[in-house]
Every structure is written in structure tokens, then in C-alpha cells.
Amino acid sequence: MPDDRPFQAVTPPAEPRTKPPTEATRRRFLAATAAAGGAAVVGGLVAGQSALAAETAPGSRASTTVGGSKGHRNAKKEKKMRIVAVEEAFSIPGAIRQEAAIRQHMAVPEAIKQEWFRRLDDLTELRLADMDANGVDVQILSYSTPGVEVIEDPAEAVAAARHINDYLAKAVAAHPKRFAGFATLPLQDPKAAVVELRRAVKELGFKGVLYNDHVRGHYLDEPQFRPVWAELERLGVALYLHPAVVPADNWRVFDGYPVLVGPSWGWTATVGAHALRLIYGGVFDQFPGASVMLGHMGELLPFQMARLDSRYDQVPAEHRVQHLPSYYLRNNVYVTTSGVMSHAALLGAVHAVGVDRVLFSIDYPFESSAEAVGFLRSAPYAPADLASIAHGNAERVLRL
């Protein structure tokens, strides 16, 4: 998804504690981190290259570490790696009454918007062709923002959620080897959301839930949502916390700089803060088996872990929890790569939370599948660790 777009938890069964990267990965991490600080990378970024291009610039130290030798890259291609992408959007024309008006006000070039909408509304021809062309075996489908979170009337939200979930279930049933689904929940009515969650998982076979940040200004640490967390834990499925295209409020620091509001920074700040509310609000102390997924390299929280822990002694007594914040990020949070195609960021996230808690995603159709898959295949990991990120973790966590 370009920077100017405004678009944009599963109790694992007896899951072992997060394992660290293999020794080979550690060695590559150190080498790649050193290379990422080199002048070749910095110069590439200054010259306007993408992060991925800078990290793999021919002749740079980063390129030999991150991409590997030509022979090594060719050897990788000989054996096809299974790829599961876990944050892939779809839409249904007319399912959300407010959606058309919201789309009209998106500050994105019209040609880009129309291509997004064309691909969002398609669940077969364009999508499957894109997957086949780029070696993506499975997409976990979720309803695109704006979703039911923009609906004010709870009854309308319940009806819309059921319609979306039924539609998605039919699409998955038509292509069960290529698609799986995340449910949409009408959290405006928490009791109805529990009922729909149970139906979506037990009857429709969905693998989790995706929700777009706030519930009309309410956050999921609030008491009325505890029954939803209890059901998520009981069913053993994760909640993917995704940004919302309509913010809960307006921050003055963004005034005059709309580029800051959406994917370049605002979404990371708000969704990351929402996840911290879940931690400091005691959600994971009350429901230790509950899990949350965070896209965009965990909304950067893995890189803030040391700071969160070092300042924990200053947390007021009413917001103290049973463990340091890093504990919850390593035990209740899964990180996905959506929209952050940077080997330096991937290496840092894996080093912070462990290779078993990082899952690959593209953010189709807002990001390029070709670029995302290229980023994945060239990541500096031993084959076993790369396979975990590409598909193994998703298969374990989502029970594919």
C-alpha cells in the first residue's frame, strides 16, 4: 500500500515456549544488522530507494548478507517454499452502507483506488491469478476496512457481520485449499458478538477474528468486552487487531500533515497503543490463553520492549499487571510482516519475540505480492526458520 493511502487474538494447543532463532540465524542477524548500518543502505534510502531495494542493492554489503550469493538464491528457487499470507483483504459491494461515502473521501489517486476496489471485490479470478503468479499457496481472508466498526446501530452491525461471514464461508468452501477466513464481529453488541464468534468458528470453520481497532471510540480492554475475550480463549482463536480507516479521535499533532494520520504513522501509533491497553488493562492476566495478532511488524512494539520494561517501575499501581510488558509481547502477541518489507525490521522483530511468533502477510491488494514474496524469499534465515515464518507458524497458530 503506498504511503499516501488512508486505508489502511487461539490458544495454541500446548504450544512450547517461544524458541529463539537457530545459531545460523543469530550469526546472520549480527551480520545483516551490521550491514544495515552501512553507507550503502543509508545512501540507497537517501537516494529514494525502497527499504528492500536498499538492503539488496548490488555491490552493497547488505546485498551479500541479506540476499545471499547468486548460487544460494538459485538453490532456494529449486525447492518451492509453501507460503501462507495472513492479512489479505476482501470486500462485498453494499455490505456496509457507509462504505461508499467513506471511500469517496479517501485522499488517494483515483486510479489507485479503483484498482484496489476492483481487486477487493474479486475473490477468484484476479486474486487466484496473483497468488499463482507469486507462489502464494493460501490467503487468510478478512473483510477490508471500513468494516462493521463504522456502523452505529448494533442491530445493523449484527446483520452486516452475519452477511459478511456467510459470504466469506461460501468463498472458502469453493476454494478450501487456497483460502481460509477471519470472522467479522459486531462488537457494538458484545453478547451478539459472542454468539457470532461461536457460530463463525464452530459452524463456518473460521480461524480467528479480525477487527479494525476501536468500537466507535471504545477499546477492547473495557469491561463490556470481557465475555468476548473469554470466548476467544475458550475457542482457542486469535484476534487480529487491525487499523481503522476512521479514527476514534483527532490528534492535534497531525494537524496540517494528513500524511501522518494513516499508514505512515498514525495507524501504528493508535493500534500499538490499543494493544498496550490490553496489556496494562489486565486482559491477558484474566485470559492468559488469549492471543492478539498485530500487523506491520507488531505495530513496532517489539522494538519498544526494552523501553516499556525499563519504565515499568513508574507505572501507577492501578495499571500494574502480573508480568513485565515484554512477557505479554512474547506470550500473547503474534507479529505479522504486513506492509513492512524490511529485512532489518524482520530481523529485529524475530530477535525480540522469537521466530515462532512471526507470520508472513502481504496486505493484498494494498501491497505488491511480488515485492512481499521477494522480501520473504530473500530473508537471511536458515531454511527451518524461514519455513516457520512463511507457513509453519500460521499452520500451527491457525490450525490450518
Could you give the residue numbers annotated as active site? 363
Instruction: Output phi, psi for 307, to 5 deg.
Output: -65, -45
Q: How many angstroms separate the Cα of 57 from the Cα of each of 41, 53, 66, 244, 363?
A: 8, 6, 10, 35, 24
Return the C-alpha cell found at 278: 490490553
Give the number of other CB atoms < 10 A from CB of residue 177: 7
CA atoms within 13 Å, Cβ hemisphere of 346:
32
The CA-based angle 372-377-380, given to 5 degrees, is: 115
What's the CA gap between 29 and 229, in Å, rounded? 36
The sheet that has 238-242: what strands, in order across it?
84-90, 138-143, 179-183, 208-212, 238-242, 292-294, 333-336, 358-359
Q: Which residues pair with 218 in a beta bridge?
A: 215
Return the C-alpha cell found at 221: 480492554
What's the CA gap between 338 and 319, in Å, rounded? 31
What's the CA gap between 311 and 326, in Å, rounded? 12
C-beta separation of 96 from 145 below 8 A = no
Of 321, 285, 305, residue with least CA distance to 357: 305
C-beta separation of 140 from 30 below 8 A = no
